[in-house]
A and B are shown apart, each in its own frame.
Chain A
Amino acid sequence: MSKALLAFDDKAMLLSTAALDMILLCQRRGFALDSLLKGTKLFEQDLRKATTKISPAQYLQLVSNCQKALPGPELAYLTAQSWLHHSHSPLLLMLRHSANLQQALLSFYRYRSQLLPLVYIRLQRVQGQLRLVLRPSFDLGKQQAFIEQLMLHYLLGLVKQQLGDTSRLSISATGMDYETSWLYQHQWQLTPELCLQNCLSLPLALLKHPFADANPVLWQQQQNWCLYLQQSIPEKAAFTEQLEQWLFTVLRQSPSQEDAARHWGLSLSSLKRLLALQHTSYQQLQDQVKACAAQQALLVQGMSNKTLANRLGYSDEHNFRRAFKRWTGLLPSQFRS
């Protein structure tokens, strides 16, 4: 395996970076700390320590408690805002002082376990645009929407903070209620489109625009801190994430479950058990990966169903059409139009 495995109850996240701001902003809105910490096995003293680590399971419980206190899309937006103004997380400071968006995204990719290792960003290039597709690393349950919104708001905020405006960006989302799209319209002047994954698209040219707060000295300083922190928070990735990444690379061969188990050096039953722990199955993951890839290919004009079927490892285009309908509820032709 390429990276160490991040388990659901692995204490591998820093409370002070990932969740403290969210708890404090709920507290400032009049909610009692004991109800916000309920079921997380955390105490008030833990919040004061800079080194308290929590597991993904504890983080999801915290999110669920905070969402109960502040239902609606505003919590994700406010938490992202607090990240943007964070003054002591090396990674967040490093992103702010990056030379440009490209460096910021690379830094995020490298040290993301110090912020939120629950989603990962998949980059897709489509006709002069870069699509940042958000994929969950775990079964995030009801909190998935919150976490993905949080990431989107943070990325949008970073672009707005450093490059001045967000008008050249566009947002696609799996499904959005009225309140969420209202928030996007008012805070970012963007209207989200419906899509299969939550993603942010930006022109490739924007990657090289210099950041307002670019500062190579500070960036280097913060990177040193990140490297230092990596000793206590090693880089880890969830199994489903690593399997998905591998599936993207071997899309054309369409490997079977047995092939996957062999590749990862696991027995078939171990593979099934690991996936069942994440409430998913091999077939489900493969479908999601193919749907994601098919969508990217369909956005590039001129790709016929036949070429696509070949790329995704289908024997003919009819099978592909049927599978696409199963994933999305639409035929490829309807999706194109």
Chain B
Amino acid sequence: MGFSSQHPAKLWLTALLFLLCILLAVNYGELKTAADIDWMDILGEGSSLAVVLAWLLLVLYSRPAGPVTNGLYVGSLLLVLSYQLNLLDEFFQYPDSHRLLSWLESIPAPVGMLILTLGLIGWHKEQAFINRQLASRELHLRHYQLLDPLTKLYKPEYLLAVLKRELELQQQHQQPFCLALVDISQFSRFNREQGMAAADLLLQQLSELTLLQFRSGDLVCRYSGDKFVILMPQSNQAIAQSLLQNASRELTTYLPTQLHWTITEITAMQHVTQPQRLLSQLWQQLQRQKQQKTLWSLV
């Protein structure tokens, strides 16, 4: 989504005020001679203007509408106007009788800074809230490039990084953790009968619902296609199994699907060093299990 489609009015207002300032300066001021112009000042003030203008555009580009965006926008707009007039007075000489332009130059800057700071405080609060919302999706690490674009869950690379950390931590606290590989039963048939758009929607709904079924410390990742991996720290096989049974029961009531899963418990005694191998073991177990047509298995 480009900023022209998200905040068209804000963009127009910025352009309008920008032009208005130039017209005001041209109207009231007289152009300085080349000898009077200090190019070092222009360089300094011009670059500050460019930077605040970039802030403003970035805010409009990256943020959805809302009070925090409005605060950040108004704050940076006032700064832009103030810095712009500051730059313009390097080119124009104003008569002493006109105080308007010098007020316009000096008053908006501190006000803009204040509003921008308030906006940043709002942003900080919003971020804290989003962090809580994200807690079920991520564990200790944030890496946006490793997000699966469809389900917004993390990809297996992320899981490996978390798994490595979990294995290291286990050497200290000695508590077992569980890893489950979950697979949707007859997904390719669903895909064929309902089409790919419906299958994508199913994956999205399934991932949202799965997130609700697990505890805040657990991590749900999309492994590949219709397979998900769930990491359950500080839990043994019995806890993991009851969590998965619950989740499966809940999901089958809402979605036209059934789950297969396989769980492995990792204890400090096992001295696992290669997380990759753990996952491929789980994978093979799930393949075997699908051939035997059983719903779940424990390794």
Contacts and interface: CB of A to CB of B under 8 A. Distances in A.
B195 A87 contact: yes
Contacts of B283: 186
B149 interface: yes
B200 A25 contact: yes
Contact of B1 (A28, A32, A78, A82): A32
B224 A82 contact: no
A21 interface: yes
Interface residues of B, number: 14
Nearest to B191: A85
Contacts of B35: none
Interface in B245-299: 283
Contacts of A84: 192
A49 interface: no
A70 interface: yes
B66 interface: no
A285 interface: no
Contacts of B149: 29-31, 69-70
Interface size class of A (residues with CB under 8 A): 20 to 34
A48 to B, nearest CB: 15
Contacts of B1: 32
B19 interface: no
A177 interface: no
B64 interface: no
Interface in A1-43: 21, 24-25, 28-32, 34
A89 interface: no
Interface in A49-92: 69-70, 78, 81-82, 84-85, 87
Nearest to A30: B149
A183 interface: yes
Contacts of B192: 84-85, 161
B150 to A, nearest CB: 5
A187 interface: yes
B2 A85 contact: no
Interface of A: 21, 24-25, 28-32, 34, 69-70, 78, 81-82, 84-85, 87, 161, 183, 186-187
Interface of B: 1-2, 149-150, 188, 191-192, 195-197, 200, 224-225, 283
